[in-house]
Amino acid sequence: MVDYIQRPKSRFLRVKCNDCENEQIIFGSASRKITCVVCGRTLAEPTGGKSTITTHILEVLE
């Protein structure tokens, strides 16, 4: 059966900070710079569409 309902292209991501090993859930199309809540390292930067992820992605959440 064909799925006629469009699914959103944006996803939430579980990422791990490279400096302090903190795991955090972020939005993949964020419009602001996302920093780690523990150490303040930049995890993602906006690019006008999808964010540029500057850390390790552990999981893509549906």
CATH of the domain at 29: 2.20.25.100
Please give the sequence-ordered ranges of beta strands (E in DSSP) within the chain, or none if there are none.
12-16, 23-27, 34-35, 42-45, 52-53, 56-61
26 part of a folded domain: yes
Confidence band of 16 (pLDDT split at 50, 70, 90): very high
1 part of a folded domain: no
46 part of a folded domain: yes
Q: Which domain range does residue 39 map to?
A: 12-61
Q: Is 39 annotated as a binding residue?
A: yes
- pLDDT, the chain, mean: 91
Q: Is 20 annotated as a binding residue?
A: yes
Q: Is 50 annotated as a binding residue?
A: no
Number of structural domains found in the chain: 1
Confidence band of 5 (pLDDT split at 50, 70, 90): confident
Token digits of residue 57 = 């992605």
